[in-house]
Structure 1
Amino acid sequence: MDAGTLLWILAVILVIAGIVAIFRGQMLWGIVLIIVGLLVGPGGVSVFT
């Protein structure tokens, strides 16, 4: 696996963790996790490209 694949997996985990946090009532923490996941992810907004 290359670094891009690892970052993509990490981003998915962060977004899922954020969604779970929101469902548990931790709105701020959930939003932070989702935003970080989107920034790390393979989309056009990745901070590593």
Structure 2
Amino acid sequence: MWDAILWIIALIVGIIGVVRIFQRQFLWGIVLIVVALLIGPGGVSLFT
């Protein structure tokens, strides 16, 4: 259950990061993508 919730949160944060990059806010975009990779259950999760 928690994996699904973390995956959804990571997906949303990653999409927002990509949108920020397209809006030429590169720093925020990169930070959000890195955060998405850290909290996502497929990546290096901070919670497990």
Q: TM-score, normalised by structure 2?
A: 0.92
State the superposition RMSD in angstroms. 0.8
Distance, in Å, in 1 between the alignment partners of 2:31 and 2:14 is: 9
Structure 1: which 5+ runs fail to align?
Answer: none
Query: Which residue of structure 1 lines up, in the alignment, with residue 35 of structure 2?
Result: 36
How far the C-alpha of 1:3 sits from its partner, in A, is: 1.3
What is aligned with 1:9? 8
SS at match of 2:44: coil
> Hey, what's the Cα distance between the residues in 2 that align with 1:22 and 1:9?
20
Matches of 2:27 and 2:3, distance apart in 1:
28
Q: Deviations over 1:2-49 (max 9, x none)?
A: 111100000000111000000000000000000000000012411111
> Hey, which bits of structure 1, 4+ residues long, moved more than 4 A?
none
Percent identical residues: 60
Q: Which runs of 5+ in 2 are unaligned?
A: none
